[in-house]
Structure 1
Amino acid sequence: MKVMLVDDEPLALIGLQRALEREARDIEIAASFTNPKEVIAGALLHRPDAVFLDIHMPEVDGLRLGWQLQAAVPGIEIIFVTSYDHYAVRAFQLYALDYIMKPIQSQRLRQTIQRVQEKLQMKKMLRAAPDANVPVIRCFGPIRFQLPGSEPVVPKWRTSKAQELFAYLLHHRSQMVYRSLLLELLWPDVDEAKAASHLYTTIYHIRQTLKTCGLAETISIRIGDLETGYRLDLGNTRVDVDVWEEEMRGLGVLDKGTVSRYESALEGYSEDYMGNYAYLWAEHERERLRLLWRHHMKMLGEFYERNDHADKAIEVFRTIQKMCPDEEDSYFALMKLYHSLHHQAGVEEQYWLLKERMERELELPLSEEISDWYRQWKVAGGAHA
């Protein structure tokens, strides 16, 4: 297992490195960084399996850096090293594999190492799994079950709580989720004894739904020791998000020989992760995957632009715009592309669409860079400049 370490405090970095070397002999520490600005380049160079990342660094948002890492190196696992208390850390769990509190405790570090190893093993099994002969759970858009040789089906849940509980366990697949956390998430205003009764009933309903959908022999809900929590075991069932990330991880350099693979892989992102559900706990993962997709789509669009395929570049940036209407980059890219084609109406359309979106709907100012570019374009005579 290859890892990278990031902490702006040199002593903390040395301490973490020694702790990892002491707890696991099979860990290769590829690189350590005290300067977070060097981290993305280091990850692209070393391609680590996991990064131990300090969440609180001067002038750097560790959470955002984690997203950028996962966009630059698809499939990389993030473990936050933080001084935040337990309640703040819950937010990081939504897309990070794990977290470690400072000062680092040996037992907790061992648990994290085991979790990383289990995740890597799961990925290895996923790559070896025959695509056509195993069930698939689809999470882009609504959750759907797909048996071999069949079309995806949206399961009929007995209650909305059953749907959310299954989605939450799936979100944390192969991890034990504490019973107390589930009670707080789903029944925060209900007496504990009554909430526990609701939980048992809801677990039963989920099992019945899995049985109805033909997945009871493959997917199971395991109960922890002393009923402390629940874990969703998927058996050989694949999750489309995992498959897609593995595909993205294997893309390599974008060039004329690989562009068709990029196109095919990016088409796999048809909708946002659990995009049909307003689950706040899914938002970080939803944003992470969207960022990963957008990063590579932007690369594809710029590749087409450099290779004089303006029509294909326009199609790519319009797709980004449709999926991420609040991002300025796609509008600006389209403005410049339409300008290169002397398509004045296209430039005007994109500018006014963006202005309407930012100023009226989001109540944010348009960026000075885009405003200046548009003014200069108008002064120069637009498409006839």
Structure 2
Amino acid sequence: MKVLLIDDEKAMHLIMKKMLAKMPDVEIVGIFQETESAFSYLIQFEVDLVFLDISMPRETGVEFAERIREKGLHTKIVFLTSHKEYALFAFDVEAFDYIVKPVMQDRLHRTVQKAFEEKRSEQLLQSIRKPASEHITLICLGGIDIQSANNTRVKWKSSKSAELLGYLLVHKGRLVSRSKIVEDLFGGMAQKNAETYLNTTVYQLRKVLEAYELKENLHSESNHYAFSLNQVHVDFLSFEVGCKQLSIVDESNIQLAIELEQKYTGHLFGERSFPWAWNEVERLTLMYSAFVHRLCMALLHRGETNTAIRLLLKLMAHNEIDEESFMLLMKAWALQDNKEALVSNYSRFADVLHREIGIKPSLEASDLYTRLLSGLNA
């Protein structure tokens, strides 16, 4: 049970720490004398129970609780006060309990036990209603999505919450500092606004992950964040592993290679253009292109020219000046004795190169074209 203490009196901190220390499985994760720092902590970190003094400087405990509820946080709040008349206001903000000072050990114990019982009940309900995390697929090829075993798709709280998940997945479970995340995701924004925006984004992402029983995969530690890859399937990571395993494509594994290519449903994050992801998008795109080239050479050797042409045209739809793909296409058309396709597409390819980057086809490409055309004429 993770507990937060918020009271402007240090003496109260000492009293509560001493009492809570006698209760097993209770961990005090934060102690605050004012509400603003406590609010920032609650936005970032998971807390089960908050002990909150009502008579706080600058912002009362009730006002603080209202702000917490407006943020959508349902953390259990226990009010501590010397004034019984505040009880009605406390329950207006869904207070879990209300303890009048001085706090007695047995009274505090009853409150904590009740919190434990509710937490166990909530966990039981979650285990019954929610899908197991190992049936969850995190989709980053062609977009950003979360797909469960029953094919329900994610409803993002915001575009930034989707971006944050993609960012952490690219870091493959490694911890990333808050300052680095702020720089990459919120660059150009005023520092204070960026920090607030990140807190909100982390909270929104936690709420999304909670629906898929993945909330615990999002770790926060010493101003660092990471997303654990345990018991989840991430499409671009498994594709990368598959490419490395199929460094050579031949008759023995060509069907596996065809199946792997079908899993590449689009470039990393699809149409979402994240500046921090450009290098990773380029790396995976090049990996996919090299893999398709290996697969197409095996297909041409096997005589499956139509499949090879389809895959190569798919590549060139994203990069119409990809000369290596075009050279394989020329070989495929030649194997089909399709002189018309060879001639017309070479002319079009040369025009595109001249128009886009002001060059002619390379000597290697032009020599291949000449040889293939000569063979068809013969």
Q: When the two structures are superposed, what TM-score results if normalisation uses the length of structure 2?
A: 0.58
User: Which residue in the other structure is 1:205 paired with?
Assistant: 204
**1:355 correspondence with 2:346:** no
**1:164 correspondence with 2:163:** yes
Aligned residue pairs, count? 247
User: Which residue in the other structure is 2:377 paired with?
Assistant: 384
Matches within 5 A, 1:142-221: 142-148=143-149, 150-151=150-151, 153-158=153-158, 160-211=159-210, 214-221=211-218
SS in 2 for 1:272: coil
Judging changes above 3 Å, is the alpha-carbon distance between structure 1 residues 336 and 222 closer, same or farther for their aligned structure 2 residues?
closer
SS in 2 for 1:231: strand
Contact 2:160–2:201 (CA under 8 A) maintained in structure 1? yes
SS in 2 for 1:222: strand
Contact 1:334–1:350 (CA under 8 A) maintained in structure 2? no
Matches of 1:312 and 1:203 in 2, distance apart? Answer: 44
Structure 1: give runs of 5+ residues left out of the alignment.
1-130
Matches of 2:187 and 2:161 in 1, distance apart? Answer: 16
Matches of 1:370 and 1:166 in 2, distance apart? Answer: 42
SS in 1 for 2:180: helix
Contact 2:209–2:215 (CA under 8 A) maintained in structure 1? no
Contact 1:218–1:237 (CA under 8 A) maintained in structure 2? no
Contact 1:207–1:216 (CA under 8 A) maintained in structure 2? no
Q: Deviations over 1:274-301 (max 9, x none)?
A: 1221112222222222222222221222
User: Which residue in the other structure is 1:64 paired with?
Assistant: none
Matches within 5 A, 1:1-385: 133-148=134-149, 150-151=150-151, 153-158=153-158, 160-211=159-210, 214-225=211-222, 228-251=223-246, 253-374=248-369, 380=374, 383-385=376-378
Matching residue's letter, 2:287 = L
Structure 2: give runs of 5+ residues left out of the alignment.
1-131
Contact 1:326–1:358 (CA under 8 A) maintained in structure 2? yes
1:315 deviation in Å?
Answer: 3.1
Contact 1:358–1:364 (CA under 8 A) maintained in structure 2? yes
Q: Deviations over 1:31-86 (max 9, x none)?
A: xxxxxxxxxxxxxxxxxxxxxxxxxxxxxxxxxxxxxxxxxxxxxxxxxxxxxxxx
Highest CA radius of gyration, 1 or 2? 2
Matches of 1:184 and 1:363 in 2, distance apart? Answer: 37
Matches of 1:142 and 1:339 in 2, distance apart? Answer: 36
Matches of 2:152 and 2:286 in 1, distance apart? Answer: 26
1:303 deviation in Å?
Answer: 1.8
Identical columns (%): 24
**RMSD between superposed Cα atoms in Å:** 2.7
Q: When the two structures are superposed, what TM-score results if normalisation uses the length of structure 1?
A: 0.57
Q: Deviations over 1:123-148 (max 9, x none)?
A: xxxxxxxx995211011111111112
Q: Deviations over 1:339-364 (max 9, x none)?
A: 34331211023213322332213444
Judging changes above 3 Å, is the alpha-carbon distance between structure 1 residues 358 and 205 closer, same or farther for their aligned structure 2 residues?
same
